[in-house]
Structures are given as C-alpha cells and as structure tokens.
Structure 1
Amino acid sequence: MALKKFVFVRSRSFVFAASVSMIASLPVEVRAADSFEDEGPASVAADDFDEDRFGGMRQRLSDWNVVVGVGALYAPKFEGSDEFEVSPIPMISAQIGDRMSIDTTGLTVDLLETNGFTLALTGGYELGRDEDDSSHLRGLGDIEAGGVMGARLSYALGAMEFYASVDRTVGGSDGLLGKFGTTVSHQYDRFILSAGASATFADDNHMESYFGVTSAQSIRSGLREYDASAGLKRVDIEASVTYMASENWLIRGQAGVGFLTGDAQDSPIVQDDVQPSALLSVVYKF
C-alpha cells in the first residue's frame, strides 16, 4: 500500500509527520479487515440512523473521504529545545475529487499522475516561533507566521514511496526548505505498520531566522552571536501503527526522532540536537 501524502502537524516550530490523509484514502473494504455486519451494536446503530435527515450529508462526507479526530502530541517546545510539552492536535482531512485534498495545514492539488509518479502543488502556512515559548528564547524576538507555497514529486513502488518536496515561505522567515524521503507500509490483519526516513535542507533565510543570533539578539538574550548558513538541517526517522478498530474508527500511534545537523546543530539556540516526539490520535472516517 503506497502512502499518497503526508500531513505535517506543527507544534509551534516543530514539524511532525502524521499522515492523516493515508487514513482518509483507505477504502472501506481495506479498513474493515473483517466484516462488522454481524456485530450487535453496529447493527442497532445502523437501524436507528435517520436516513431522511442525515443520510445525504453522510453520503457527501463519505464521497469526500472526510476524516475528523483529535490527537495528543508530545514534542519539544521549539526546534532544538530540551524541554517537552503535550499539545492537542486536530486531525481533519478531506479528499475532494481525484486530485485535491485539504487538511488543517493547507491544500494539495495533484497536477500529474503517470507510471507511479505524482506531481503536486501545495499551499499552507508556517507558524513561526514565539519567544514566550521558552525562557531560553527570551530576547530573540518572535518569528512571524507566513504562508507556504510548494511542490512535491513522489514515486510509488509497491508498498514504498519515494518523495522530494520544496516549500517557500512568504512572510515570516522567507525561507526555502527542501525535503527528500521514503516511506514503507504494510497491512497485517487490522493493523497498518508504517516507517519512514527523511532529510531536510534549508536556505540561509530559514537558518538565520531559526538558528542565527544577531548582535542585538545576543545582547538581549545573553547567547553568543552566531551565523547560520544554508545546508542539511535535520534527518528524521519515524514509525507508526494504525489499528482499524471498526469500519469507521481508527487509532494511531506514532513515534519519531529528529537529529539536527550542520549549522542547526551548532547553534547556541539549540539545547539538544536529538529531538524525539510521539503522537497518539483517534479518528473517525465518514
């Protein structure tokens, strides 16, 4: 089973791949692993459903492959922090037609699909960073939020997917990010097991915004001056397990670790260059 698209969930400046749209794209026959028609509670719920009032709406949501749910993300307070926090994460995704999908981070439009390759345009946002997120950031000032425009090229080969993406932030850091990675997934009974690895590159604007320290910032914060240049910013490894509890309910657990590299790793802003995280979510597929 190839993974079509990853949803990037942000906790402040931290980025975590949650792949909600993978759940949305699963057909009912696959997600239901076994038949649920003979289960008592499910049959009663189906009999009590008011088709006249809600049937049409549910059908439209089903056609759009809508997924809604909530998750809890355990992650560093900011990229490079050694302090952690738990944040609630909304999980919303919808596939509109064959080529458009939308979620809490933005819009994706597939322009071309041929011989396993998919070329897509993406639009979303970057949350930036608030110096009030941590006492370690005091004096550095805020990094404003900005819009993100990008493109993604992927190639599906059986259960594996290889991808490359580029994203430009308009406003905020005015930075450019490039990402290369691969994912693999396997279904066993009612479980979907997935794993992936990726490398993220950043330009001078992004690196200076998030990891550089100007002379004025140094005076205010007490951190030494530092120039952060373009290059490989981080390498990430993640794995997840999705349990198909019923025809509509899914439970997902995901864990990952990122390793800051190069000028990001050496920045005085970074307290720990190893960035672990975990996500637990429950979603409902219409």
Structure 2
Amino acid sequence: MKKFAGLALILLVHVFFAQTAMGNDSRTALVPLPSIDDFTRGEDGWGFGLGLSVEYEAAYEGSDEFEFEVDPAGAVQWRSGDNIYYWAGEALGWRGLRSETWFFDAAVAFDEGREEGDSDDGRLDGLGDNDETTELVLQARRAFDSDWRYWLDGRLTASDDGSLGLIAVGRRFGDQTDGTGQELSLAVVFHDSDYANRDFGINSEQSADSGLAETDLDGGFRSIGVNYNLRYFVSENWQILGEAVYEHYGSDVRDSPIARSDYEAEVGIGAVYVF
C-alpha cells in the first residue's frame, strides 16, 4: 500500500506542475548539474545508462568501520519535454523542470535498513535488525539564475520510520550543458525523533541484550556535511562519475553509543555506458 500511495502522490505532483511546464531547447540535460543524471541526450523518448560504481564507505550510520562496496550505476529513463520518469536501482520516480530555475523530484525508494552483521567487530550485537522500509523522497531546487551556477536545495525523506529533511546550497563548475562537470554543495540535515532513534536509539530491550546504555534521542539537528560530485564523458558513450561525502554529526548523535565516530564519510567512483 505504501508503494501505491507513493506512486499516486508522484502522479499528483506531476499533474499539478505539468500545467506550468516551459520548454528549453537550448539545454541538453534537463538540469546541467552532475548530481542529477540525464541519459536522454536532450531528446524525448528512452534514455539508458548502465554501469558499476565502487564505494568506500562506513559500514552503517555512525560506524568507524569502513568497507568497499560495488553497486550498479545508471538508470532507465523516459523523457517528455521537461519531464523525466525514471527507474534507478531501488528508486522509481519523476523529475521535472519548471521555468528555467525550478527543479522538482519525487520518488519512491527502498531502504535496506541495518543488520547486526553489518559490524564485523560485533558492535551491533544485541541491537537486532532494522526493518527494510519504503520511503517517499521529495526534492525541490531553485537556481539563482538560468545557468544553474548557484542553487538552493530542499529535500524531505519520509517513511513509517520517521522523517529526515535537508537544506543545501551548491555551486556548479564548468560550462557544459550536458549535465557533466563538477559540483560542490554544503548541507544541513535534520531528523525527527523516530528517524533519529531508528539509526542511533537504544531501547530497554536492546540495552539489556547489548550492554549498551539506553538512549532516546529527540528530533532536531542531525549533521552538517559537504558533498562533491563529478561527471564526465570520456567518449561518445562512456561516462565516468565520482562522489565524495563528509557528514559531521551533531552532539546528540555523537552521544549515542551506536555512533562510534563523530562523522561519516564516503568516496565513490564509477563508469556508465550511455546507450
């Protein structure tokens, strides 16, 4: 039911904004930002990107254990004017450009949750597994001008496990209009109490089983972070992509016994073949 509800909301958002759609034939990508993939080459119809990425990242939220992970990269997309419908890994959604400076994205995404076995050092033993969940992700970006050199971003992730919000400001480097180049953003992240305790809370039963102190977090400030993206075509069809993320936790999160580190970091690089 949650998946159908999310899809219905996506369609409602699309119908609401479709009446205000404005074309922009001078721009190849829907939005010229490397953090927003567009494999349609500026043409209506299907766009496909298929590849792999290798990431070096924390084993779980708050972990001081790091590991390599290989994930699929790319997406299946359908473009119609200033609208793209897409399936990217574990997300199904719609994104659209409204005027030259407003971008919206709505998606239903799958979150794998957390398992005790995610910690090789046994630091999650006794905490049990966090259930898998389906999330609704809503995003809006507002550019300061039509070339998208600087922009503001707002994002909301909501599920039965709570809500997480993000506010960011970013800058694009390079003059490409095909969605390649480099991008740097600074973000502030907030969560409600349900979301905070999903990742960092410890109830009485978990405390008894794990030996960790019982922890109940309030909602509010979660972290501040920096995100760097790059995307380039190295040939007609091959595209390389990279990302580096640093997130520094707020004091409430750092006080949780689950947070073995004050920060979370991730570095990834990949290659995609664009059909």
Cα deviation code 1:69-95 (max 9, x no counterpart): 101010010111111000001012133
Tell me the residue number matched to 1:66.
48
- TM-score for the superposition, normalised by structure 2: 0.78
Give the Cα–Cα distance (whole angstroms) in 2 for the partners of residues 26 and 263 of structure 1: 45
2:115 to 112, 117, 130: 130
Give the Cα–Cα distance (whole angstroms) in 1 for the partners of residues 32 and 155 of structure 2: 11
Q: CA RMSD in A?
A: 2.7
Please state which structure has a larger fraction of its residues in helix: 1
**Matches for 1:81-92 after TM superposition, within 5 Å:** 81-92=63-74
Tell me the residue number matched to 2:238.
249
1:169 correspondence with 2:156: no
Cα deviation code 1:141-164 (max 9, x no counterpart): 111011111322211232223211
Tell me the residue number matched to 1:79.
61
Shift of 1:266: 1.4
Q: Give aligned-pair identity as a percent.
A: 26
2:60 aligns to what SS in structure 1?
coil
Q: Match for 2:140: what amino acid?
A: L
Q: Match for 2:118: what amino acid?
A: D
Give the Cα–Cα distance (whole angstroms) in 2 for the partners of residues 165 and 240 of structure 1: 18
Which consecutive residues of structure 1, in runs of 5 or more, have no partner in the other structure?
7-17, 29-61
Cα deviation code 1:149-194 (max 9, x no counterpart): 1322211232223211112113xxx211111113322236897122
Tell me the residue number matched to 2:196.
207
Cα deviation code 1:19-40 (max 9, x no counterpart): 3x42536559xxxxxxxxxxxx
- The alignment covers a number of residue pairs equal to 238
Shift of 1:106: 1.1
Shift of 1:204: 0.9
1:269 to 238, 258, 269: 258
Contact conserved, 1:74 with 1:86, CA < 8 A, in 2?
yes
Shift of 1:4: 4.2
Q: Match for 1:251: what amino acid?
A: I
Tell me the residue number matched to 1:97.
79
Contact conserved, 1:126 with 1:169, CA < 8 A, in 2?
no
Q: Match for 2:169: what amino acid?
A: T
- Residue 225 and residue 256 in structure 1: after superposition, are their counterparts in 2 closer, same or farther (change >3 A)? same
2:131 aligns to what SS in structure 1?
coil
Give the Cα–Cα distance (whole angstroms) in 1 for the partners of residues 131 and 116 of structure 2: 11
Give the Cα–Cα distance (whole angstroms) in 2 for the partners of residues 197 and 107 of structure 1: 26
Which consecutive residues of structure 2, in runs of 5 or more, have no partner in the other structure?
1-26
Shift of 1:133: 0.7
Give the Cα–Cα distance (whole angstroms) in 2 for the partners of residues 111 and 283 of structure 1: 23
- Residue 188 and residue 119 in structure 1: after superposition, are their counterparts in 2 closer, same or farther (change >3 A)? closer
2:198 aligns to what SS in structure 1?
helix
Q: Match for 1:148: what amino acid?
A: E
